[in-house]
Structure 1
Amino acid sequence: MLGLKLQVASSLLLLGALVAQAKYIVPGARWRDTDGELVNAHAGNVVLDNSTSKFWLFGEYKVQGQVEGGGVSVYSSDDLATWTFHGLALEPIEGHRYISPSSIIQRPKVIYSEAAGQYHMWWHADNSSYGLLLQGLATSDKIEGPYSFVDATSPLGNWSQDFGMFTDYKDGRTYALYSNGDRAEGRDVYLTSYNEEVTALDEVVHRFDKYDLEAPTILQTEKSYYALMSHKTGYRPNNVVAFRADSLSGPWSQPWIVSPLNTRTFSSQSGFTLRIDGSVKTTYLYLGDQWDSNSLWESRYIWLPIAIDDDKKTLAVEWHDVYDLDVKTGEYKTVEGKEYLATDAITNGNAFKQEANFATGGVIATGIEGNDSTVTFSGIEGTGKPQWVSFYYQNTDDMGYGDQPGGSPDRIGGSWQLRRISSVVVNGNVENVETLYQRDTHKGIILSTPLQLTLEEGVNNTITVGGLFNGFTYKGADIDKLVVYPPEA
């Protein structure tokens, strides 16, 4: 039986392993590491390593000018909120057939092989045309690397595209999850067991046949297995679905959507799930990616608690603007903030308030464009310290711009614009303008996106929202409300 040094696709937190109190987790924010740089580890996994008593985050390293083939980055954390960068765990090699700067190195997953006495990294290995559809393997004696390339192979002679990994916490057996491409003869997702050393696949356990899904991950409860996967829409978000089974070999249930309809899983794609066995409760986290195809290096992370009812056989991803997770006890709590509604805001220029029966106060601020048409919220209470502010908005770019680029996906020949960008100014200080990315929502669908702002102590702060150019328009999204949260302890 494989050792349980690590738990990967549904990682097991051993009680007492960590002692640090978690800081806030803020889905969709610009996460910065301990050096102040953006956390850059996309579509990867989180591993709890007992030898270091730390969580380790691995993911695709994407920078402007090189969004593929950048290698695999690695970070460590005591609390899943504060991340320290350790460089590239897998570094590209110029001229290498499988890990050159022009290669596809996607969805990396790391596990410790007790039988081999090494850390093993697997990923979707491909060329720039996606013509290989292989799985890569690299190994290291240290979890942070560097990892040395071993091979890239086809899984049991099959194709492999989006890649995931799962370790059964009860028996320690590890499995690969992979879609087998977009060709008509593919479009399946395979669940295949590894050998004891986790160096090769040995048996197909189940095939999710012709659902045409990708980005697979599995989490495990005491009674059930749940598989989460996304539809194939590229970097556009969609409604992630889940399946349930008593056994990995099935039978598996029909799929269902895991978040409110038309939120497109809160503008994210699945890819990994994390199980935290605390001293008080077991918590499950959805670790999704909020892709930004206009600037992939700016893509964000949507990490959210998962609500599971094994008796009812249900699973749902729950939205929280800001939450506080204690990785030792497994408990988390929603951080409460103070609301400021658009119905009380002041509009300027062509911006105006419009009736909206789905909005918090029955009114939404719209027509926000450039610096001339803005909406200002006043009387905002601050502490003089950095605070998270959530901007609740509606982005109706699905309504389209006629024949202009970025027209509606709900019309013939339409396409997605994916985001609007707003300017945010605190207390009229135009020398310090923050940028707020607002992904497409849908008609009547309100989502939120956060910024960390420093407000003056007292109740006389103002926040003004305008529009910035996003490649198609200077329009900002419609604003429903702001929620201002207390600073971290």
Structure 2
Amino acid sequence: MFGSKLWLSAGLLLLNAVVVPGKYIVPGARWRAADGSLVNAHAGSVLLDNDTFWWFGEYKTQEQPEGGGVSVYSSPDLATWTFHGLALEPVQGNPYISPQNIIQRPKVVKSESTGQYHMWWHADNSSYGLLLQGFATADTIAGPYTFVNATAPLGNWSQDFGLFTDYKDGRSYALYSNGDSVEGRDVYISSYDEQVTALDAVVHRFDKYDLEAPTIIQTDQSYYALMSHKTGYRPNNVVCFRADSLSGPWSQPWIVAPLNTRTFNSQSGFTLRINGREKTTYLYLGDQWDSNSIWESRYIWLPMTIDDNKKTLELEWHDVYDLDVETAEWHPVEGREYYVKDATVNGTAFKQEANFASGGTILTGIEGNDSTVTFHGIEGTGKPQWVSFYYQNIDDMGFGDQPGGSPDRIGGSWQLRRISSVVVNGDTENVETLFQRDTHKGIILSAPLQLTLAEGSNNTITVGGLYNGFYYKGADIEKIVVYPPED
């Protein structure tokens, strides 16, 4: 239907990526900075300073996926970002921040007593044998930061790292798991001294929960600690604890997102409290890792619904939402839905009964350029618009003993994603790639692309399959949702 060029792997396709920085927040999308480059700030933190948000994160490239340093971006609205380069650069020969070292989960806090900005992170070597916390300082928030030292926190080990500042008294705390060994597997909350230059006491220890990626969000009444299970770059069910005090007692953990979504294919990393004129909003800032190309992993930023009376916290999924940081009010953006029951199929692709899908139908068998699904009559504006593709990827059913097989079977592996081609109005010279992460049987998730549709209601969108390293298969499709352009 398209011609043989779609049988190329995704990495060889000529992409027609729209390089328009967004104003909406679109979880899982390719986020772009003002210069058009992909935002590269993984497992990081956001600090509000002088009415500007500053985002620090791991800078990852294909050549340097781990020790690339710490990048820094600024934004007035949490949606449009300006790149300021590396806040912390690797130093060849330095035993803690060389390109061969691990520089993970950077967090920045302002030390009010010194007037400086202090950066902390998980500092390690390539075999994770050091288990230290790195420390650097700068006179300005964007840096550059000067490395000071790397230490064992209160003589202990430190792996995944977080930092929390209590908004009531301004005291800062380090959050860290202390390794994977039998002797470890705890998560600590430890207080910093007044200068935020060293830890002075353990406030609480989560004993033998074997969790990582800790972050704490604070309401007027409670503290909520979110943590991930230890599955490497594979997503899992993030859990949450609640307490009246940082020293505890802390509650039993509960899962914060619908079961089997694996926290919408994300890992916890940071949480952000936004105090606005009208309300207070709480954001979950997670990472959607891609172990096949870790340097282009995505970001899952979602509102959290917290009920202190019920003592609950849960994530709210929205494909696209609009956030006003001055009022802290947000609302989901409404889109128009197009269902596979009304689409046309080609080749071996076929519609199948699915009682969990919209309209009771899902489209499966999308393989290469010979088996596709085409949606017709799509309304467009002639401007870039976000389109969400609702899908099911049941690679977890897998083959077990075959490449890309199920992690739930003996000898299985986890492929994590299928890749689809997306063509607008039959223009096969400009093919978009759509990464569709693993879901589960009966679990529908969505993946976004920004596309330019012609003005009017005669647009078509065709979905095929691309090579993901093992096969030419796209995920099963339930529907697409087309959202209006940003103002």
- TM-score range for the pair, normalised by the shorter chain length: over 0.9
Shift of 1:28: 0.2
Residues 1:82 and 2:65 aligned together: no
> Of residues 313, 330, 341 in structure 1, which corresponds to 2:311?
313
Shift of 1:403: 2.1
After superposition, the CA RMSD in angstroms is 0.7
Shift of 1:401: 2.5
> Of residues 467, 470, 480 in structure 2, which corresponds to 1:469?
467
Shift of 1:379: 0.5
Residues 1:260 and 2:258 aligned together: yes
> Quick one: distance in 1 between partners of 2:262 and 2:113?
41
Deviation by residue 1:184-213 (Cα, 9 ceiling, x = unmatched): 110000000000000000000000000000
Look up the equivalent residue of 1:245 and give its one-letter code.
A
Shift of 1:65: 1.6
- Which stretches in structure 1 are left out of the alignment for 5+ residues? 1-21
> Of residues 369, 372, 385 in structure 2, which corresponds to 1:371?
369
> Quick one: distance in 1 between partners of 2:23 and 2:367?
35
What is the DSSP-based 3-state SS (H/G/I as helix, E as strand, rest coil) of the residue aligned with 2:412?
A: coil
TM-score, length-scaled by structure 1: 0.95
Residues 1:29 and 2:24 aligned together: no
Identity fraction in percent: 82
> Quick one: distance in 1 between partners of 2:464 and 2:206?
46
Residues 1:48 and 2:48 aligned together: yes
Deviation by residue 1:5-43 (Cα, 9 ceiling, x = unmatched): xxxxxxxxxxxxxxxxx9210000000000000000000
- Which stretches in structure 2 are left out of the alignment for 5+ residues? 1-21
> Quick one: distance in 1 between partners of 2:112 and 2:168?
16
Shift of 1:295: 0.1
Residue in 2 that maps onto 1:411: 409
Residue in 2 that maps onto 1:221: 219
> Quick one: distance in 2 between partners of 1:347 and 1:359?
18
> Quick one: distance in 2 between partners of 1:323 and 1:173?
32
What is the DSSP-based 3-state SS (H/G/I as helix, E as strand, rest coil) of the residue aligned with 2:469?
A: coil
Residues 1:355 and 2:353 aligned together: yes
Task: Give the conservation status (yes or no) of the 8 Å contact 2:419–2:466.
Answer: yes
> Of residues 277, 280, 283 in structure 2, which corresponds to 1:279?
277
Deviation by residue 1:269-297 (Cα, 9 ceiling, x = unmatched): 00100000100010000000000000011
Residues 1:175 and 2:176 aligned together: no
Residues 1:431 and 2:429 aligned together: yes
Look up the equivalent residue of 1:399 and give its one-letter code.
M
Residue in 2 that maps onto 1:10: none
Shift of 1:263: 0.3
What is the DSSP-based 3-state SS (H/G/I as helix, E as strand, rest coil) of the residue aligned with 1:399?
A: coil
Shift of 1:402: 4.3
- The ranges of structure 1 where at least 4 consecutive aligned residues each deviate by more than 4 angstroms after the TM superposition are none
What is the DSSP-based 3-state SS (H/G/I as helix, E as strand, rest coil) of the residue aligned with 1:76?
A: strand
What is the DSSP-based 3-state SS (H/G/I as helix, E as strand, rest coil) of the residue aligned with 1:265?
A: helix
> Quick one: distance in 2 between partners of 1:285 and 1:402?
37
> Quick one: distance in 2 between partners of 1:157 and 1:116?
25
Residues 1:200 and 2:198 aligned together: yes
Deviation by residue 1:30-79 (Cα, 9 ceiling, x = unmatched): 000000000000000000002xx210000000011210100000000000
Task: Give the conservation status (yes or no) of the 8 Å contact 2:400–2:407.
Answer: no
Deviation by residue 1:126-150 (Cα, 9 ceiling, x = unmatched): 0000000000000000100000000
> Quick one: distance in 1 between partners of 2:194 and 2:114?
9
> Quick one: distance in 2 between partners of 1:472 and 1:143?
45
> Quick one: distance in 2 between partners of 1:279 and 1:384?
36
Task: Give the conservation status (yes or no) of the 8 Å contact 2:401–2:410.
Answer: no
> Quick one: distance in 1 between partners of 2:74 and 2:318?
24
Shift of 1:298: 1.1
> Quick one: distance in 2 between partners of 1:135 and 1:361?
52
Count of residues in Structure 1 that have an aligned counterpart in Structure 2: 466
TM-score, length-scaled by structure 2: 0.95
Residue in 1 that maps onto 2:66: 68
Residue in 2 that maps onto 1:8: none
> Of residues 420, 424, 438 in structure 1, which corresponds to 2:418?
420
Residue in 2 that maps onto 1:324: 322
What is the DSSP-based 3-state SS (H/G/I as helix, E as strand, rest coil) of the residue aligned with 2:359?
A: coil
